Amino acid sequence: MPQQAAESLPPADAAAAATTLKAEPEISSRQRYRGLLWLVAAAFFMQALDSTVVNTAVPAMADALRETPLGMRSALTSYVLTLAILIPASPWLCDRFGTRRVFGAAIVLFGLGSLLCGLSQTLAQLVAARVLQGVGGAALMPVGRYVLVRSIDKREFVGAMSTVATFGLLGSVLGPLLGGALVEYTSWRLIFLINVPVAIAGVWMNRRDMPEYRLDHANPFDLTGFLLFAAASALLLAASELAGADPVPWLEIAACGGIALLLGVVYIWHSRRTEHPVADLSLLRVRSVSVALAGGLSTRLGISGMFLLLMLFLQVGCGWSPLAAGLMMVPQALGSIAAKWVINRVLVHYGYRRLLLGNTLIVAMLLAAFALFGPGTPAWLIATLTFGYGCFTGLQYTTMNTLIYNDLDIRHASMASSMASTVQYLAMSFGIALSTLLMQALLRGHTAEDFVVSFRWTVVLLGLITAAASRVFGRLRPDRPAEALPSTG
């Protein structure tokens, strides 16, 4: 309509009108969506901060709640598992209830969960509060990305996503520092309570800046498939928690594992008979999709719990303060940031197959190299290895996350993204559980030296598990020239 109006004017006036019509949307777009960009960036920052700040505080939390540090794994895995279970429901919730309602509810639930985490007096209360946090957190990033795609002009989208991603990385850098400082000088409870004022501000910004997108007739939600997946995942995590008991209840573990396996088989049968499954398993016929998901799952099983173990090693085994231990997490985040600057050139040069085969083995060797550390290891040497480990894990994550789209039709990109996010968080939850269970099984006493020895053997075993994961990427076809990576945020 504006173009038709301009064409009906005299030539000089039409040219002026055309200029005006081109300029005005850019100005109004910047003014209108600046608040939206800050809102989504704040949500990404809050979630990234929360994901990293807790690791530093685990020893202090365990002491306050009268638990062992390794026994605190459920407080971490419950949050990540909740993300994995609920992320697939986010697109349907947006279509059914609208982006403003869903995003606002997510902020409220995340803030309420944070408040309850800070007030928890027992591990059971903390786990329940972390689950509530996960219910809110599961919608923050998917809905934020979706709204930016719908709202931001294509010419400004890459810059917008870069801004949002920068805030997420900033949260990852500041999280360990802030967590260590709060634990050392105030209370571990503040690492959760600081989210409350941020959530309050987010609710206000959501009402003002969040656009409302929804469908009049949303596709039916696959509730049966969702419940099958959720129950199977929860039972598997319950089995891992039971494995840490003394004595080990093997019968209960077998029962949880057997029922979870049965539910998984039922889901496969169900997904083939429903029009809109919560996870479309037919995409696994595409080799790059199946390798990306299987490789991501197996790799993260080995490396997801590493920095929790490192924090426990430094604080419990070496006697470092929470702030000093938190400082050792910063090089890892900086390494991940540095990897983003070279990933395009490295991938174009080597291709997916060679890069993932080689890089996975390098990550495995760096992971096992942490076994060389002890109480007398200089801080600069730990920081150097942590930076290198962060660089190569950053390359690994970005390459795995983009491989899934390499041979996929654009029509299936949304479903593939949902499945990739689900597998990512599912693998993280089980990776944390696996690493802490290994360390607990190898712990022969309660002294600092016992903790150091247990840590060393654990990282060696995790390195072997990660090295074995490289075989999955051998299923990729021989390399062909790779294109530049898409922006992944």
Tokens of 3: 């173009």
Q: How far is CA 239 from the centre of its chain?
A: 23
- Identify the pLDDT of residue 248: 75
Domain boundaries, the chain: 29-212, 222-277, 279-489
Task: Give the CATH class of 29-212.
Answer: mainly alpha
How many angstroms separate the CA atoms of 61 and 106, rounded?
A: 26
How far is it, in rounded angstroms, from Cα 451 to Cα 420?
35
C-alpha distances (whole Å) from 270 to each of 283, 418, 422 are 15, 18, 19
CA distance linking residue 98 with residue 187, whole number of Å: 38
Tokens of 28: 């109004």
The kind and range of the H/E element at 324 are: helix 322-327
State the number of CA atoms in the 13 A half-sphere of 204 facing the CB: 6
Nearest-angstrom CA–CA distance, 262 and 267? 9
* pLDDT of 12: 37
Q: Which residues of the chain have pLDDT under 70?
A: 1-33, 152-162, 218, 246, 410, 479-489
Q: What is the pLDDT of residue 279?
A: 83
* CA distances from residue 340 to 51, 158, 166, 173, 382 in whole angstroms, order as listed: 20, 14, 11, 15, 22
- Residue 283's CB is within 10 A of a number of other CB atoms, namely 17
Give the side-chain half-sphere CA count within 13 A for 108.
10
**Which two structure tokens, joined as six digits, stand for 195?**
């989210």
Q: Are 233 and 82 a contacting pair, CB within 8 Å?
A: no
Judge whether 102 and 443 are in contact, CB under 8 Å. no
Give the per-residue pLDDT at 239.
86
Per-residue pLDDT, 20: 35
Q: Would the CATH topology of 29-212 be identical to that of 279-489?
A: yes
Instruction: Quote the tokens at residue 81.
Output: 């598992």
Of 93, 76, 33, the C-alpha closest to 428 is: 76
Residue 322, preceding peptide bond in cis (omega within 30° of 0): no
User: For the chain, how many residues are written?
Assistant: 489
Span 279-489: which CATH code? 1.20.1250.20
Interhelix angle for 223-242 vs 73-86, to 10°?
Answer: 170
Residue 461 is predicted with a pLDDT of 95
Contact 390, 335 (CB under 8 A): yes
CA 292 to CA 419: how far, in whole Å?
A: 11
Q: Tell me the Ramachandran region of residue 407: left when phi exceeds 0, alpha when psi lies from -120 to 50, beta otherwise.
A: alpha
- pTM of model > 0.85: no
Is residue 191 within 8 Å of residue 55, measured between CB atoms? Answer: no
